[in-house]
Amino acid sequence: MPNSIAKPFLKWAGGKTQLIDEIENQLPENLSEIPFTYIEPFVGSGAVFFWMIEKFPNIEKVVINDINSDLTNCYLTIKDDLDDLLTTLSMYQLEYHSVFKDKELAKEYFYDKRLLFNTRKSTRTIQSALFIFLNKTCFNGLYRVNGKNQFNVPIGRSHSLPNICNEDNLRVVSEVLQKTVILNGDYSETLKHASECTLFYFDPPYKPLSETSSFNSYAKDVFDDAQQIRLKEFCRTLNSLGHQWILSNSDMKNVNPDDNFFDDLYEEFNVLRVNARRSINSKGNKRGNLTELLITNLF
């Protein structure tokens, strides 16, 4: 598919499309002139990953990782079993569109698929198709699980037919993934794949601005303050090894100007505040312009 650019195939809370310009501003000026390894330990929907692949054809090795096995299995399915995935997604799209205008039938279809997904007894390809279907039809494309690792997001409120099977984009994504190492595990394991010249981009679960704004139920294990501190120590290790890195996170000063959690935690590095818009919130009046943090050892 000539001239096609791979784009995220999922809607994702905290997707980084809006921050790409700011991230680009922090990159070394000569990055396009040298071969390097790119590692993204919290890939999510991959907005920065797909942009990096397009922007820097000189990338020699690409590694993506996520703790969410439902997500990484989806990447692996698109890489290894695309045709069967497209067949199943096309069927789901046809069936869902046929009942979409009948809200009760649409709800029944959605919750049947959610129940099937949560049994986790289907093949990897079927689970991946269910994963994409739920993402396209649930509330705000949010991914959230309970303590039993069961997806529990309700049906969405869309007034237009969702594009469940975007075949053109999925085929381009599959081409990109052929040259990508896909890992599922703790982010620290990605260090094994670093080379002499390596750039890491971290997009961990954000520290919540309030108790009600947390989307940290992204996996059954919570990414709390202790985990934020552990991640900082990992970044310090990377710095000592000569690797370059950029990390994004929430800016706690949006709710408390005296909250210096990240400023103190990363005081030895470069902490930048950039404008961002958060679009995933249950209340429309809570969506708006905020600052987020870009933290880096690049100066």
Annotated binding site for S-adenosyl-L-methionine: 12, 16, 66, 203
Q: Which residues, including other chains, have CB under 8 Å from residue 274's CB and lie 6 or more apart? A: 19, 22, 291, 292, 293, 294
Alpha-helical regions (H) of 100-137: 103-119, 124-137
Q: Which residues, including other chains, have CB under 8 Å from residue 66's CB and lie 6 or more apart? A: 41, 42, 43, 44, 72, 183, 184
**Residue in 164, 171, 170 with CA at minimum distance from that of residue 89:** 164
CA torsion through residues 265, 268, 270, 273, sign: positive
User: Rounded to whole angstroms, how far apart are CA atoms 283 and 281?
Assistant: 5
Annotated binding site: 12, 16, 66, 203
